[in-house]
Structure 1
């Protein structure tokens, strides 16, 4: 922290990108959970929406399950729906990163934070949050997404129009399972719908 403060006070640019990774110091601070440095960088003019090959700082924080860093970025008006090239939005990024980089309870906390900040639970870039939660076995996240308005009938971007008729019975059964609060069956059926699309 002392070194970062020293360099920033001596005029270091907080938005300088690494020549090897294309990330800014803010990307690195949030990905590693350095909350004090995150606040310092933002106070010195770091761009909360700084692009990198892997997305904004909020995407970097979401990819590593750094709840506090995400909260700080959102307090500084980071866009919860900004799309990155690799993993879509911060919401879809958090879901894709589970269980490899975080457990489901951490993911759920991140998802709730993003939804509270206005994240679109029906985005389709590249897949819907429900499809990602299903494919990664995130039953608790799947249930929460349904509770906050995620629509099981929203197709992912990859779904071809010709597939829609063959998947109608699966979607109908999935919707019935949701109405009956049988989330395990709904998750299984949703998974079948999206597996058919591949």
Structure 2
């Protein structure tokens, strides 16, 4: 039986019955009985030790909004996270429980806590919970927050949720990162799905003429690939960076900077031949560019050494 520590200011103590049962999904449910008046219940001290840090408030979040509100009104910690780092807001967002999301935020819950699964916005996007996402965004959730290499827009794209994608695009989510991700990691149908969604939104807002649609798609994807390539290069992940630059070159074969940057990747990977090939192409495009000359020199030096 779990022991609850109550504050010393209790004027009366009534029995609290906590029934823990298992449902068909293997989740734990809580039903409360005989809850009588008392001044304050410090829920955050009443951690169920055998349940991975999950508290009575967390179980109430799943099954009883009234109980959850009562606990919050009497001092429960709205930002309490379990041992996986998932907060109450993560769980409410995962369920698409708009009422609970509203309640937690109204009680001061932090809108962007990060767990192994991302922020609550990531979680809601992955489940396609438009309503929960709308509430989180209305409370200034970070729509460009990257966790584990993905943003909420990327997660929504993986979930193939048109409404959620449009919601994030309208909020101002970064299209480049998502476009690059879908190009690299998703099936072509998903990439087209994402880009078509963007184009529908653009067309609806009449930002560009309809005949420029394919050009805009190309530009978005290319920019996204270059952006992710630059990040990979900065993080010294040269194999991934070279792969990203190669894909960008297919869309934009006349960009000398791409060849210069990929040449640098080959240099760092010890491949002098490929480094020199890219450096030569870069120099041909921009004969008087100092960096192109520098890349050629580095590649030749590497070939001499090896």
Provide TM-score, normalisation by structure 1: 0.70
Q: Deviations over 1:111-143 (max 9, x none)?
A: 11001111000026xx72541685262333221
The 5-angstrom pairing of residues 101-140 of structure 1 reads 104=160, 107-123=161-177, 128-131=180-183, 135=187, 137-138=189-190, 139-140=192-193
Structure 1 residue 145: Cα displacement: 2.8
Q: 2:68 aligned with 1:4, yes or no?
A: yes
Q: Is it true that 1:152 corresponds to 2:232 in the alignment?
A: no
4+ residue segments displaced more than 6 Å: none
How many residues end up aligned between the 2 structures? 160
Question: Which has the higher relative contact order, 1 or 2, with Cα contacts under 8 A spaced 6 or more apart?
Answer: 1
**1:132–1:58 CA distance, 2 compared to 1 (3 A):** farther
Partner of 2:77: 13
Query: TM-score if structure 2 supplies the norm length?
Result: 0.47
Alignment deviations for residues 166-185 of structure 1 (CA, whole Å, 9 cap, x no partner)? 873x4259xxxxxxxxxxxx
SS of residue paired to 2:103: helix
Structure 2 unaligned segments of length 5 or more: list them: 1-64, 203-215, 233-239, 254-306
**Distance apart, 1:5 and its partner CA:** 0.6
| 1:61/1:67 contact within 8 Å kept | yes
Paired residues for 1:27-176 under 5 Å: 27-85=90-148, 87-96=149-158, 98=159, 104=160, 107-123=161-177, 128-131=180-183, 135=187, 137-138=189-190, 139-146=192-199, 148=202, 151-154=220-223, 155=225, 156-157=228-229, 159-161=240-242, 164=245, 168=249, 170-171=250-251
Question: What is the CA RMSD across the aligned residues, in angstroms?
Answer: 2.6
Structure 1 counterpart SS, 2:177 = coil
> C-alpha deviations, 1:138-194, integer Å up to 9, x for none?
3332212356455121314464337746873x4259xxxxxxxxxxxxxxxxxxxxx
Cα deviation, 1:62-97, whole Å, max 9, x if unaligned, reads 111111000000000001001112x5110011122x
Contact 1:95 1:129 in 2 (8 A): no
Contact preservation (8 Å) 2:222, 2:248: no
Instruction: Considering fraction of residues, name the structure with more helix.
Output: 2
User: Structure 1 unaligned runs (5+)?
Assistant: 99-103, 174-198
**Could you say what secondary structure the match of 2:176 adopts?**
coil
The 3 A distance-change label for structure 1 pair 108 and 13 is same
Contact 2:154 2:182 in 1 (8 A): no
User: Matches of 2:194 and 2:248 in 1, distance apart?
Assistant: 23
Larger Rg: 2
Secondary structure, aligned partner of 2:85: coil
